[in-house]
Amino acid sequence: LKKGFFFYLISSNRPLKEMLFPLYTDQKSTFEKQFQGMTEEGFTYQDYENTRIQLRDYVHKLITASDKQFLLSVEKGTPNWESYDFGDFPAVKWKLQNIQKLKNQNPTKHFDLCAGFDAQLSKLNNNY
């Protein structure tokens, strides 16, 4: 499960920090208009909010110290494929190409993104 999620993370066009540490927005109106009533079992907006927090916390607990190093190496544009060998996939190559482009065109922004991601990763207190 974790390996598949990591592949999803590093092949996505979204920044890793944004996906691992999302800023939740109020989705109540969307929930009520597009989802409410579609399940046989009751599922409230509060259930939805609780579930996404539980899912985030579950994923965070799976991340080891070596995973943190790997994810940060990807964000820096210098992935260490020792743990996860995803380097030959087109979507991963595309993400790395975009990271390199940002690094070249706006090194300050890239540095700030990496520093912010590293700070968020360091808040995860996993002792694996």
Q: What is the pLDDT of residues 32-89, one digit of tens each?
A: 999 888 888 889 999 999 999 999 999 999 999 999 999 999 999 999 999 999 999 9
**In this structure, is residue 98 part of a structural domain?**
yes
Residues of the domain holding 2:
1-6+40-128
Question: Within 12-127, where are the H helices?
Answer: 16-20, 28-34, 45-62, 65-76, 90-105, 107-122
* Full-model pTM: 0.86
**In this structure, is residue 92 part of a structural domain?**
yes
Domain count, the chain: 1
pLDDT at 126 (0 to 100)? 64
